[in-house]
Chain A
Amino acid sequence: ETGVTQSPTHLIKTRGQQVTLRCSSQSGHNTVSWYQQALGQGPQFIFQYYREEENGRGNFPPRFSGLQFPNYSSELNVNALELDDSALYLCASSPGQGRLNTEAFFGQGTRLTVV
């Protein structure tokens, strides 16, 4: 039990639709990172939020966007869904800049299927 919760756990969407995934960070953590894990692959870094600001982005198109709220929970939004967006989306919560990644914890993920 990491204290990082993601919702929903599973989701099925149609190509072209929009989706919002949610992550509640562990208490005391102000940084949230999102990763996409396609089947049979390692997680790929999407972006990171620190104190409500985007703080780094991986190689993902602008239709992947996010938010972080004052309580440090976060949303990942994906517009114009494509079949290749089908993946496990993982959220990682961490205590802040300058701290070791050993203190980052992952949620269980949201399994998104695009049909």
Chain B
Amino acid sequence: GEDVEQSLFLSVREGDSSVINCTYTDSSSTYLYWYKQEPGAGLQLLTYIFSNMDMKQDQRLTVLLNKKDKHLSLRIADTQTGDSAIYFCAEIPSGAGSYQLTFGKGTKLSVIP
């Protein structure tokens, strides 16, 4: 199948770290992505990782990739109320063209002040 799996909800206190997990399906996926969607808005690309990397850090964001388990995670350090949104994990499966993304159902992050 082509299901990208994510937990649906995560609640954290402001200032804590958030970790959002994802299990993807295609071990041949070259790139894996994290998108953010705020209420009533489109999708914003947060970060991405190449499949030959284990980790990528970008300011408060850290992506960890475990290719053996097809597991991807997004850690947000010092989570702020402005980080409240839905976060989508996405892959481009092998055989799909460029930009033809397969998304998970999204994880709704709620930040408690």
Interface residues of A, Cβ cutoff 8 Å to B: 2, 4, 31, 33, 35, 40-45, 48, 50, 55-56, 58, 90, 92, 94, 97-102, 104-109
Contacts and interface: CB of A to CB of B under 8 A. Distances in A.
Query: Size class of B's contact patch?
Result: 20 to 34
Nearest to A99: B98
A109 B101 CA distance: 16
Contacts of A108: 40-42
Across the A-B interface, give the 7 residue pairs with the lowest CB-CB distance, nearest first: A42-B103, A106-B42, A106-B43, A56-B97, A108-B42, A42-B105, A94-B99
A97 B92 CA distance: 14
B100 A48 contact: yes
Nearest to A40: B105
Nearest to A2: B42
Contacts of B4: 42
Contacts of A40: 105
Nearest to B106: A42
B43 A101 contact: no
Q: Count chain B CB atoms within 10 A of each CB in A4, A48, A98 and give the residue with the most.
A: A48
Contact of B48 (A2, A43, A90, A101): A101
A98 B42 contact: no
Interface of B: 4, 31, 33, 40-45, 48, 88, 90, 92, 96-106
B106 A101 contact: no
Given A94-B99, A98-B98, A100-B31, A42 B104 contact: yes
A4 B100 CA distance: 17
A33 B106 CA distance: 20
Contact of B99 (A48, A58, A90): A48
A4 B99 CA distance: 15
Nearest to A9: B40
Contacts of B100: 33, 45, 48, 56, 58
B98 A90 contact: no
A82 to B, nearest CB: 21
A100 B92 CA distance: 11
